């Protein structure tokens, strides 16, 4: 059973869970408490949840690390602190179900790292993207150096970090940070619609896309092709896959058409 936490509002409608960051007075900046609650929420999703939508309360998705909690740590403690963030965002990217991030207002620093860990990103017109770590005298520590260049390229990430450049929603869309653009106020409805669609996919197929595809693109061509063959065999041999293929061949499932 899903239950809200003090820093997260969590609800469920049918097979879709909605996890909303709930620190609007801090622009949903990520504190240690919030990152721990995000991790816990994604580790403990009920079996009835087949997809998740992540959003932010108030005027912003997430303004990144809560700098008021930034303290001087020795190297070992600092590494472990980053690893805490890594574990939380890995639970999203490599979890059981696909996740849609609905982005509005600030999507900055750790907020962009959070968004990058989700499989699908929907940006409202108000969304803007930045990585101000260079101006703050710090470095990304929530997996951004791994995930964000794979979306927008190393050169563009370097530009954001060294110059403080901020992308608007159009630029975020153009440079690969998001897959969908919607008018302000329509992001949540779009995100839920996408989550409902993904919730209807065969679980093993969704698992293969989420877990195998990001790894295949990092492998050599030969290794990638073999991994693809393994996952194709695993996905197609589930009872649900057989039922779906039979339904298609019998004319009971729709064909792919341009909407």
> Long-range pairs for 209-213 at CB < 8 Å and ≥24 separation?
209/98, 209/119, 210/93, 210/94, 210/95, 210/98, 210/119, 211/94
- Report how far Cα 147 is from the mean position of its chain's Cα atoms: 10
Distance CA 63, CA 41 (A): 20
Distance CA 161, CA 136 (A): 10
Catalytic residue flag (residue 133): yes
Catalytic residue flag (residue 223): no
Query: Which one from 124, 133, 186, 218 is the annotated catalytic residue?
Result: 133
**193-215 in b/e burial notation, b at 16+ Cβ within 10 A?**
ebbbebbebbebbbbbbbebeee
Q: Which residues pair with 101 in a beta bridge?
A: 54, 121
Exposed (0-12), middle (13-18) or buried (19+): which is 111, by Cβ within 10 Å?
buried
Q: Say if strands 180-182 and 120-124 run parallel, antiparallel, or are unpaired.
A: parallel
Query: Which one from 69, 113, 124, 228 is the annotated catalytic residue?
Result: 113
End-to-end CA distance of the chain: 36
Provide the annotated active-site residues. Answer: 113, 133
């Amino acid at each position: 059973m899903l239950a809200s936490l003090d820093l997260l509002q969590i609800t469920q409608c049918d097979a879709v869970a909605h996890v909303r960051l709930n620190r609007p007075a801090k622009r949903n900046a990520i504190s240690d408490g919030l990152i721990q609650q995000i991790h816990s929420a994604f580790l403990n999703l009920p079996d009835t949840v087949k997809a998740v939508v992540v959003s932010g309360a108030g005027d912003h998705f997430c303004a990144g690390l809560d700098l008021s909690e930034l303290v001087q740590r020795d190297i070992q403690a600092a590494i472990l602190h980053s690893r805490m963030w890594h574990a939380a965002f890995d639970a999203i990217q490599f979890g059981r179900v696909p996740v849609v991030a609905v982005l509005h207002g600030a999507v900055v620093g750790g907020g962009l790292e959070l968004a990058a860990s989700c499989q699908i990103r929907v940006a409202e017109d108000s969304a803007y993207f930045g990585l101000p770590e260079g101006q703050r005298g710090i470095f990304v520590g929530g997996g951004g150096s791994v995930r964000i260049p794979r979306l927008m390229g190393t050169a563009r990430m370097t530009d954001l970090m060294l110059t403080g450049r901020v992308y608007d929603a159009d630029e975020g869309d153009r440079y690969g940070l998001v897959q969908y653009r919607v008018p302000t106020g329509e992001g949540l409805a779009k995100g839920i619609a996408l989550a409902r669609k993904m919730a209807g996919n065969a679980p093993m197929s969704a698992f293969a896309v989420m877990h195998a595809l990001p790894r295949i693109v990092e492998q050599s061509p030969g290794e990638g092709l073999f991994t693809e063959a393994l996952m194709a065999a695993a996905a197609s041999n589930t009872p649900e896959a057989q039922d779906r293929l039979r339904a298609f061949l019998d004319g009971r499932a729709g064909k792919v058409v341009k909407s």
